[in-house]
Amino acid sequence: MKNYSDILFPYAYNILGSSEDAKDTVQDILIKYLSIDKNHIENEIGFLIKSVINQSINLKKRQKKISADSIWLPEPISTEKADDNINKEEILSYSMLTLLEKLSAKERAVFILKESFDYSHKEIAETIGFTIENSRKLLSRAKNKLNTTRVLKNKAHQQDTSQLKYYVEAMKTGDVATLKKLLSEDILLAADGGESVKVVRAVTMGITDVSKLLLYVFKAFLTGLEVRMSSVNHQPAILYYKNQALYNCQVFEFEKNRIKSIYSVVDPQKLKALFG
């Protein structure tokens, strides 16, 4: 059998938001496929994609029940590593993955298949196992919940990366005035430490509160750490390394040359697969 892992991974990852869970799901489907009767299967990759999508939906449903009352950020993926065989253009932007957490598992799957993979409603219905009308309703419901004009993939991240050097300099010098000039008035700061790291505050909004918290966190936890600029899920990111191990990944969303959102991942489990 051909190696389909890289083809299947983006479907699972975009639904689950977790690289590790996506890899486990793909591996599980491929192992099961080896042991079944394949005489009735006309389209091998189509069958595998359908299997991965449906298993991902079921897993996402179970996860939603567990994490409904907690802050959860997606597991970041590098979109600049040259040795990665995954089609990075099929990986959603970090901001969009975060927004998709508002949706149910099926709404999310329908939205992704239609908007990212260009599936027709007929193809979606056949893949997930419901009617074309259900597919249309779920897509409409998803769009209403998201209420956003943001694109699925941020292909313009390169022009924003240069802004981060001013951000880092303002943090290092404690320059509140310069920092505020870089932030949107309604900026969102979200932090996820998982089960092992307690964050100062999970969600903070507004330029005054966010700038104060950013400077406090930098002074208390990030001063002296190695700083690297990168691209994560098609968006500019800052990686902080402590003793050569990745300690914090901050993913940035820009709007009109100002920072609109900062997603700070300090959960060691989510960081372990990112850059090593």
Q: Could you give the percent of the chain with pLDDT greater than 70?
A: 90
User: Which pLDDT score is estimated for 53?
Assistant: 98
Helix (H) or strand (E) holding 45: helix 44-67
Between CA 236 and CA 175 the distance in angstroms is 21
User: Which pLDDT score is estimated for 64?
Assistant: 72
Q: For the segment 34-82, what is each residue's pLDDT rounded down to a tens digit?
A: 999 988 899 999 999 999 999 999 999 998 765 545 678 999 999 876 5
User: Which pLDDT score is estimated for 2?
Assistant: 59
- The two three-digit tokens of residue 275, written as one number: 């850059």
If you average pLDDT over residues 217-236, what whole number do you get? 95
User: Which pLDDT score is estimated for 68?
Assistant: 47
User: Which pLDDT score is estimated for 223?
Assistant: 97
User: Which pLDDT score is estimated for 65?
Assistant: 62
- The two three-digit tokens of residue 4, written as one number: 């389909």
Q: For the segment 77-125, what is each residue's pLDDT rounded down to a tens digit?
A: 998 765 567 788 899 999 999 999 999 999 999 999 999 999 999 999 9
Q: For the segment 183-213, what is each residue's pLDDT rounded down to a tens digit?
A: 999 999 999 999 889 999 999 999 999 999 9
Q: For the segment 166-175, what is each residue's pLDDT rounded down to a tens digit?
A: 999 999 999 9
Q: What angle do CA 168, 233, 152 make, to 5 degrees?
A: 120
User: Which pLDDT score is estimated for 209?
Assistant: 98
User: Which pLDDT score is estimated for 67?
Assistant: 56
- The two three-digit tokens of residue 197, written as one number: 């790291």
